[in-house]
Every structure is written in structure tokens, then in C-alpha cells.
Structure 1
């Protein structure tokens, strides 16, 4: 009995806040279920969740406008294309646009129930747990810190006997407050030559701030790196002096220490002859000669997240690498991955239309390559499963059609063509 009790207490807990196994009511997560459009005969337009990018995957109904509440999605499909005329003036244009982006397969498939938080739409205990913890964090407004952040903060708290900042006496002295947000520190950062203004709204993590600073100042990387390191060192020295000698830190003293450190750095650095640097050339993609009569289709995309518009580009070359023909087209999509899939889908269609026999379809998206070569939904968002089938089904019975993954620089022509679409 004692052993059973120990095992039970390890796996189960009476406290919902502890990291144990708990029962959860399925009804609490029903808003995370959605439907993937197949034939559309079993999906109600206004009652069921089925629009991937819509809030709770549903279409809001305007009570002032009479609509057919029993309308099904199949009523909006004509010859495997969207015909939104029945609801054209009854819902917002935004939702019409979202519906038009849902891919429809050329051959009807059964409607499926999907678990929205999972990439492939398949429910798992792991996906359910993530949804539960996300809901708790969103409800309480608590965001979990990264492991490194928690470890750094814990070490600093151990070193400090009083968590309140002894300089300003207003805030808890975290790493971010110590090095960036304390009043005297902000004056020091702003008063030096680079004039950095520290805004509390933009500071969440010291490490993230350092990364962003280096990215923004990449053109003068050596100087900015030395400057930040010197200023952080000066702030730390003055803060330690206050702890052990009870001397108030001064922004002007921090700037003077930073200036001396920078000067010493450049003087010492100039004493040593700089070793010649040999920048490694970017990996260049060389054309590989194909077997005779084999053609190659390079596919790429361009996508604008703001308006959901994109372009696809396809370049056809012969076995010698000579250009034969190309294709460019504007498309609407949910994401860059969606646009890339539309490019590959169009390439498969062009193989049939152009009467090609032996063809290699090339792409530079690794996840998409895995999805089409392994016929795997695991590497593809659930909302695009139908489009994946449109790509893989036509080539399964054609042994002379294959897919290839290439570096991005090997796809530059198709990329430029997509950008011009």
C-alpha cells in the first residue's frame, strides 16, 4: 500500500498548479478543434469552425442580415473551385479573402476534424498539455522565463541581500534593472557618444537586448561590441563599489571609465599587426549536368505577410542548363510556406500541360521537400494537407518525375521571377 501511495503521489497531485498529471474537461478545449475542408457536405458555413486564419476558425454572423444558417461549405464550391457569390454581401470582405485562400483538391475528399494547435492537426497528449499551459499563462498574464533567464536571475538574487535596488530604491534589482533600467544607468547610456536611449517598454531580457543591439549596429560591429562591453563593465564596477565602499555610482564616472577602456582597447589593438583575414566565399551552387532529355523545374516564391499576397516563379531548363521557358503568377496565401507549396503544385500541373516526361522539380524549402518526398503530413500544416495531396498524387505513378532540394542561392532566378509576379 505504501509503494502504491508513493507511485500515485508521484504521477498524480491534488493541486492543479503542480506539474503532475491532471484530468481536464474536453469541453474546455473545443474551441481548438476545427475542420479541414474536403467535400464540404458535413461542414456548416456559419455554425462550424473551418476557416484556418479566422478567430476561433468561425465566420461571424451579422444579425442585421438574413443568412441561411443551414448552408454547408459544399454550397460554396463549384467544380472544385470557390464560388462565394451566395455569401458575397453577407460577410466581411476579410473573411471572403480567408476562405478563397483555402486550397481545394481536384478530387473530393472527406471532411476531417483537426486539432488546431498541432502543426499536422493530430491530437496528442503533448499538444493538449501545451494548449492547457498556454491557456493558463494567457489567463493569468504570467509568461514563463527562459531557463537561462531564470538561472541568471537566481544567481543575482543570491548575491543580493535585499532585492530592492539600493541606488534608486524604487524597483526590484534584476539584471535588466541593474545594467539598463536604473535611472543613473540610463543617463550613462544616453550620455556617451552613441547616445543610446533605453526604453523600459523594449526591455524584456538583457540577452535579447544585447542581440538586438548588435543586429542594429552591425555596420560598425567591432566598435559597438567594444562599447557595450566597456559600459557594462563600468556599470558593474561602480555597482560593486557601492556594495563594498558605500560610494554612490555616477553616470559621468561610468562614461569616463567606458571612454578609458575604449581608448586602451584601440591602443593595445593597434600594437599588434592584424593577421590577414580570408573570408570564406559563400557556398556556390554549381549546375550539374543532367541526363540527356531530362528537364529541370526550379520553383520559388515571394510572400508579403501584411497583405497576404505573393508570387510564384518557375524556371524550366534543359539538360545543358539552357533556359527553355518560365512561369510567373500572383497568388493569395496564408504564409510563405503556403506560397511555396502553390509554386510546387503549379510545377506539377505544368509537367502535364507542357507534356514533359523526365523532370526534376527543385525547391529550397527543407520542410516542404520532406513533406512531398515522404508524403508526410507531419511536415505540413494541417490547413494545407489537401494541397500536399494535389502535389504528391499526380507524381506517384510517374517514375520519371522527382523532387530535389537545393541551396537558396541555386534558386535565385526563380526567386527573382516570383518577386516580379
Structure 2
């Protein structure tokens, strides 16, 4: 609109959405009130400061450098940044040419869905290799913790469009005795938040039951890496701090990444819980997929959870 106005194609260059400022590329993508809400509500939680903002390309380069300095998953975070810019511009054009007022919270939801599709696309590139690994009959499965420790395997199941995720947890001792299992649903707007909530759930279980030495295992490498590195990832920053605060209440509390093949039981509990396929009394009458996962762990099936 700014360029069209400068060429006198349109009568003025005021933003047709907020009608309070000149519609430059910087205003359209960064400074319009609804776009500020999108940037702050994104995983980066950025507050756009108009002071010193000279051009969009310089701002974008600064943002890329900031992500490079603190990201634990650079490729994904750069893809999310591109996705935010694209969706903001797309909704801006739709507002102008189709008279559809942009909803920042709907845009954030679309961005989170795009991020999930991106992650699934990345994972599918190695699907054939993972399938080959799964067919190896003597692959290493779940391993018991050292004597005196309780191992808590955790996982989360998340589905785009569903505000709730399902968290599955299984606690076992060094003799492979199942001490506790649980499944519950919690609010989680993104899969990364869901996986981090699952790790915190494991720490809460250990603390509430008075266990002194625990080992929490998750198959979400991004969340575990963020915990290990102590990096300030916007959307899970508070959760990571909660986990670290809980860690201080144990004699020993370890958080470790493991492959999905070593985390099958909690993974299945989370999946079945999200689909409402865990019947009443499932703790005493295990669904067959969970029985199979326990057998594949090489630890047999306990009489009950």
C-alpha cells in the first residue's frame, strides 16, 4: 500500500487494518497491533520495539542471529520464523483484499500446526531407516535403573486442533517392578510444551511419592536438550525452570533422552489416553498394546500396575 500510494495508484498509505500508521512493510509484518500480538504469542515471545527499527531485512537478520545464539534446534526454529512471517503477510493480504479481519490467536494456532507438520516432515525423511531399526529382533529395549533409583519414563501425545494433550508415565525400580503408572490430560498449545509438561509430571510424581533418587526418561530430544543446556526457549522457559526447582528437592534427579523404542510403554499409555481408549480399571487389566510393549521391553508383564 505504501508503494502504491507513492506512485499515486491509491489515495493514501494508511494501514487499512489499524488505520493509525503508514502501511510500510515493517508496519504490516511487525508493528501493526495484531501482528505484535502474534509475535509475542509465538514460541519466541518477541516484543517488537519500533525504536531503531530501520528496515525489515535488518530486523530479520538480527532475529536470525538471535535464534542462532540460543536455539537447540536451529533448523526448526528458523522454519518457525519463516512460517510466522509468511502467515502474518498472508493474513494481512486477506484482510485487505477479502475484508477478513485477522485474528492473532487463530494465526498463532495455524503457526503451531505448521510447526507440527514441519517436525513430522523432518521425521518422515528418516522413516525407512527407523523402520529398519524397529525390525531388528535383538535391539536394546528398556533398561532398569541402578539399584536405589526409580526410573520414570514419560511421554506426551498431542494432536493439532485438540487443546489437551495426554501424558503417560511409568515408574519402575532396579528389579523392573512397576511401582506406578498414570495417564492424565492437560492443556498444551504445542507439542513441545506437551513433552516438557510430561518431564515435569515425572518430577512431580517422584517428589509427591517421596522418592530420593529418580531418573526421568523422555524421547523428546528438544525438551531434554533445553533442560541440559539451560537455554531460554520462550514457550518452555517457565516449565524448564519448574523442573530445575523440583530437581533441588531430590538427592539425585536425572533427566535423560532415550529413543522411542526404549519408551514404548509410556508412549502407548499417552496415545491411548488421548484417544480415550483406556477403559476404567485399565491399571489392573492392561490393554494388549501395553502388554506387548512390556514384553518387548524384555521385562515380562507384572500382575498389575
TM-score (normalizing by structure 2): 0.50
Task: Kindly indicate whether structure 1 or structure 2 has the higher relative contact order, using CA contacts under 8 Å at least 6 residues apart.
Answer: 2
Larger Rg: 1
